[in-house]
């Protein structure tokens, strides 16, 4: 079984693997990542193979401290510094001009690179011990639900990775917010762990991607992303009269409901808690062999924006 506790010895072993060009699954505060040395194109290619991910879908580069951004991106200005001071370490990914040392396989041929500093001790330890930034997408097969536990990685990619570092359940549970910064302003490429309203306190109003026709579309926006095998249907008001269905509930329902076929994201409707439970609940429901997962819509504010984004994509499969 390739799941390893995050001991000194195992982290050293994982870092040695990264230096040799292996791929390693590791925890972050958002979801588990599948990492390789971002400066080693052959190692990065293994990530695409393991995930069966198309080469046109670029990867996020993970760094261990804010200063390391200078290694990854040639760009800097006071707004970028303000954003990293406020939100790093944390679930904000910035898309910036890449530096020449980042190979094009990481960026799918783009001159921009996505970069973030995770807010997770084990991730930071691994990057530091590896002595290189780590290119890492979420550690799931392309198109499937993101992993928020080591077991999710083992279930779907166990044959593809030698080492999965176990950091328990991911605290945020939903991927990072992706913000592109260019001379044309700010564009939100993916809602995520940091609510867009919080970023706008620094940037002012942010454009959403569809308003900027010539920026590369972020394949995270492909409609079939984040999908369980079971079909998903989103409803505003849930009735429990479909016998073969199971239910993803935003909060505790008032009346009776089929408990053995339901997952509750947050008993009292806290959106941050709901986001953190989204993927693990969907993983559990996907194992029940129901005809359909009926998901209760959540309010679209704060973390609710990212939750609805993932549910809509999952429901379009
Ligand atoms: O929370 C997260 O962001 C997790 C953890 C592991 O850090 N990572 C993650 O990676 O969700 P991934 O590969 O599943 O999603 C990254 C998204 C992709 O949709 C990709 O298209 C977009 O980031 N992306 C990467 N580089 C880009 C670039 N240069 N321009 C536009 N989009 C980019
Ligand atoms: Mg992903």
Q: Could you tell me how far CA 100 lies from the centroid of its own chain?
A: 25
The model's confidence at residue 214, banded by pLDDT at 50, 70 and 90, is very low
**β partners of residue 165:** 4
Model pLDDT, residue 233: 97
pLDDT of 101 over the 70 cut:
yes
The residue behind tokens 């260019």 is 182
Beta bridge partners of 264: 249
Nearest to 189 by CA among 219, 230, 160: 219
| Bigger pLDDT: 218 vs 154 | 154
Residues in Cβ contact with 200 at an 8 Å cutoff, skipping those fewer than 6 apart = 206
Cβ atoms of 18 and 35 within 8 Å: the answer is yes
- The CATH class of 232-315 is alpha beta
Q: Which residues contact 230 (CB under 8 A, 6 or more apart)?
A: 246, 285, 286, 288, 289, 290, 291, 292, 293
From the CA of 47, the nearest ligand is: 1
| Percent of all residues in the chain with a pLDDT value above 70, rounded to a whole number | 94
The CA distance from 296 to 229, in Å, is 18
Q: What is the 220 CA–ligand 1 centroid distance (Å)?
A: 7
Residue among 38, 178, 214, 221 to mutate when testing ligand 1 (max atoms within 8 A of CB): 178
Q: What is the mean pLDDT of residues 167-189?
A: 94
Summarize the confidence of residues 221-244 as an average pLDDT.
85
Q: Which residue would you say has higher pLDDT here, 5 or 184?
A: 5
Nearest CA to ligand 1 atom 24: 58
Closest listed ligand to the CA of 143: 2
Ligand 2 mean position, distance from CA 297 (Å): 22
Closest Cα to residue 50, out of 33, 67, 30?
33
State yes or no: pLDDT of 212 exceeds 50.
no
Query: Tokens 């569809």 identify what position?
Result: 210
Tell me: pLDDT of 204 over 80. Answer: yes
**293, 296, 299, 304 alpha-carbon torsion, rounded to 10°:** -30
Over range 30-48, report the average pLDDT: 97
The ligand 1 atom at the shortest distance from the C-alpha of residue 192 is 1
Asked whether the predicted pLDDT for residue 224 surpasses 70, the reply is no
pLDDT reported for residue 114: 97
**b (16+ CB within 10 A) / e for 164-173:** bbbbeebbbb
Whole-angstrom CA distances from 271 to 182, 285, 297 are: 31, 20, 12
Under 8 Å CB-to-CB from 44, ≥6 apart: which residues? 36, 37, 38, 59, 103, 105, 106, 135
CATH of 3-176, one of 1.25.40.10, 2.40.50.140, 3.40.50.720, 3.90.870.10: 3.90.870.10
Model pLDDT for residues 117-131, shown as the tens digit of each residue:
999 999 999 999 999
pTM: 0.92
Q: Do the first three CATH levels of 3-176 and 232-315 match, i.e. the same topology?
A: no
d(CA 84, CA 181): 13
| Residue spans per domain, the chain | 3-176, 232-315
Average confidence (pLDDT) over 199-207: 92
Q: What is the mean pLDDT of the chain?
A: 93
Cβ of 147 closer than 6 Å to ligand 1, yes or no, is no
> For the chain, what's the residue count?
317
Confidence at residue 226, expressed as pLDDT on a 0 to 100 scale: 74
d(CA 173, CA 194): 12
Answer for the pair 108, 209: CB distance below 8 angstroms, yes or no: no
pLDDT band at 68 (very low <50, low <70, confident <90, very high): very high
pLDDT tops 60 at residue 219:
no
DSSP state of 193: S
Q: Quote the pLDDT of residue 215.
A: 43
The kind and range of the H/E element at 106 are: helix 104-107
The pLDDT, as a whole number, for residue 209 is 58
The C-alpha atoms of residue 196 and residue 308 are separated, in whole angstroms, by: 14
Please state the atom number of ligand 1 nearest to the C-alpha of residue 93.
3
Contact 32, 138 (CB under 8 A): yes
């Amino acid at each position: 079984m390739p799941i390893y506790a995050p001991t000194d010895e195992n982290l050293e072993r994982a870092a040695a693997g990264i230096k040799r060009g292996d791929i390693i699954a590791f925890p972050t505060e958002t979801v588990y990542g599948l990492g390789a040395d971002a400066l080693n194109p052959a190692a990065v290619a293994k990530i695409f193979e393991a995930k069966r991910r198309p080469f046109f879908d670029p990867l996020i580069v993970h760094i261990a401290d804010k200063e390391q951004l200078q290694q990854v991106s040639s760009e800097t200005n006071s707004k970028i510094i303000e954003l990293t001071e406020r939100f790093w370490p944390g679930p904000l990914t910035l898309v910036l001009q890449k530096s020449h040392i980042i190979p094009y396989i990481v960026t799918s041929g783009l001159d921009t690179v996505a970069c973030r500093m995770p807010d997770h001790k084990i991730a930071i330890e691994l990057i530091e011990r590896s002595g290189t930034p780590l290119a890492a997408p979420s550690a799931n097969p392309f198109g499937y639900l993101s992993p928020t536990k080591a077991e999710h990685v083992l279930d779907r990619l166990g044959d593809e990775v030698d080492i999965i570092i176990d950091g328990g359940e991911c605290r945020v549970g939903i991927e990072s917010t992706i913000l592109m910064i260019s001379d044309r302003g700010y564009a939100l490429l993916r809602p995520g762990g940091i609510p867009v309203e919080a970023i706008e306190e620094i940037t002012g109003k942010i454009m959403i991607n569809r308003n900027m026709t010539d920026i590369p579309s972020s394949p995270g926006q492909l409609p079939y992303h984040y999908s369980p095998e079971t079909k998903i249907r989103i409803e505003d008001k849930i009735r429990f009269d479909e016998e073969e269905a199971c239910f993803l509930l935003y909060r505790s329902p008032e009346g009776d409901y089929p408990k053995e076929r339901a997952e509750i994201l947050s008993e009292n409707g806290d959106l941050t808690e709901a986001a953190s439970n989204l993927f693990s609940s969907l993983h559990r429901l996907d194992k029940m062999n129901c005809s359909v997962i009926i998901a209760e819509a959540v309010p679209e504010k704060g973390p609710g924006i990212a939750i609805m984004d993932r549910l809509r994509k999952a429901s379009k499969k």
